[in-house]
Amino acid sequence: MLTQLLVFVSTVVLCVSAQNSTNVTTADVEQAFTTAKIVPDVLPSFNPVGLLNVVFLDNVTNTTVTVTPGLNMTREQNALRPTVSFVSNMTTFAQQTFVLAMVDPDAPTPQNPTSAQIRHLLAPNITLNGSLATGAVLVNNTPAISDFLRPTPPVGSDPHRYILLLFAQPANFSSVVPGILNASTPISNFNISAFAEQLGLGSPLAGNFFLTGPDANSTNSTSTASSAASSATSPASGSAAGSTTNPPSSAVGMAELSWTGLTVAMGLLGVLVL
């Protein structure tokens, strides 16, 4: 428990220093999305107005991995929910509320993506903490609609693309979304562009992506499709400590990690990030 708490604390500390830590430009990201065919497979077009910095904590080595567009990652590296921050020169975003999504358009395989997209994260009501110029950390103020689900590409599959997208959240979002999608809605056969269109989210403001294949030595018996996680609602951990924050991934994290003390830890820490 103590060790696990330390891992969590280090994640929190890490986000304080999150910033434009790579030399990637929005033009680089735009180009990478096109090269990887995310445009047009997932988005009709993509004109980012900022950078989405995504930092994972490798669960095994306890080192951080900063995602550059198209990075090849192992499943160990992205087992835990990342810290995400937004870099932009548009100061008006400081007061904006956002929706963050992560989708896999390559399930079960890139060649035959019959269950794509898989909704790996859908987190509304996100606000910023910190400087937009150097990287403002995304803070989730209410539970995610779909908690973070770690990549689990099936045995034998080529690597999948996992795409994170940040949208501006329209004022009517919370009143409209329950009639369209909720925590019980299957995470498969999702379509982020159709969802964005339907909810009036507009084009994504920023994005990032990485590639992950199945574990090299994985077998049928170790595959862990955790679709049940989609229906697990986040415990209102923050409220126990008088906080309104709650990580979108908590239910998945606890289910997969058996972090039985995590809810309490999160409540005590109060401030949580993605």
Which residues of this protein are in contact with ligand NAG, per CB under 6 A? 3, 6-7, 10, 16, 20-23, 25-26, 50-51, 59-60, 62, 70-72, 79, 87, 89-90, 124-125, 129-130, 139, 142, 155-156, 170, 172, 174, 176-178, 181-182, 184-185, 200, 211, 216-217, 220, 256-257, 271
Residue 156 sits at φ, ψ, to 5 deg, of: 90, -10
CB of 218 to ligand NAG, least distance (A): 9
Of all residues in this chain, which one has the CB nearest to ligand NAG in the complex? 200
Interior angle at CA 181, CA 177 and CA 186, nearest 5: 165
Which CB, 87 or 166, lies closer to ligand NAG?
A: 87
117 DSSP assignment? P
Q: How far apart are CA 165 and CA 186, in angstroms?
A: 20
User: Do β-strands 206-212 and 71-73 pair in parallel, antiparallel, or remain unpaired?
Assistant: parallel
Q: What ranges in 26-77 are assigned the alpha helix state H?
A: 26-35, 38-41
Radius of gyration (C-alpha) of the chain in whole angstroms: 17
CB of 264 to ligand NAG, least distance (A): 18
Q: How far apart are CA 132 and CA 120, in angstroms?
A: 25
Which CB, 116 or 246, lies closer to ligand NAG?
A: 246
- In total, the chain counts a number of residues equal to 274
Which CB, 116 or 132, lies closer to ligand NAG?
A: 132
CB 223 within 8 A of CB 154: yes
Residues 6+ apart with CB under 8 A from 236: 143, 246
CB of 152 to ligand NAG, least distance (A): 10
CB of 184 to ligand NAG, least distance (A): 5
- Alpha carbon distances (Å) from 221 to 150, 154, 217, 218, 226: 18, 11, 11, 8, 14
CB of 10 to ligand NAG, least distance (A): 4
CB of 146 to ligand NAG, least distance (A): 11
Which CB, 116 or 248, lies closer to ligand NAG?
A: 248
Closest C-alpha to 3, from 262, 187, 203, 266: 262
Which CB, 43 or 64, lies closer to ligand NAG?
A: 64
Residue 240 sits at φ, ψ, to 5 deg, of: -60, -30
Which CB, 43 or 140, lies closer to ligand NAG?
A: 140
Which CB, 147 or 256, lies closer to ligand NAG?
A: 256
CB of 265 to ligand NAG, least distance (A): 14
